[in-house]
Amino acid sequence: MAVLCVEKAGAAPWGSPLLADIEVTLAAGEVLAILGPNGAGKSTLLHTLAGGIAHSGRILLGGRELSAWARDERARALALLPQQSPLNFPFSVEEVIQLGRTPHASGAAVDSAILAEVMDATDTTRLRQRLYTRLSGGERQRVQLARVLAQLWRAEDSEVRLLLLDEPTGGLDLEHQRLIMDTLARLAAQGCAVVMVLHDFNLAASRAQQLLVLQEGRQARLGSPQAVLTRATFREIFQVDVHIGAHPRSGAPLVLPT
pLDDT digits (tens, 9 = 90+) for 101-149: 999 988 889 999 999 999 999 999 999 999 999 999 999 999 999 999 9
Q: Which phi and psi angles does 225 have, rounded to 5°?
A: -55, -40
pLDDT at 89: 84
* pLDDT at site 107: 86
Q: Is the pLDDT of residue 1 over 80?
A: no
d(CA 245, CA 251): 9
The reported pTM is 0.96
- Per DSSP, helices labelled H in 122-224 are 137-152, 174-189, 201-207
Q: What's the chain's average pLDDT?
A: 95
Q: What share of the chain in percent tops pLDDT 90?
A: 88
Structural domains of the chain, with CATH: 2-257 (3.40.50.300)
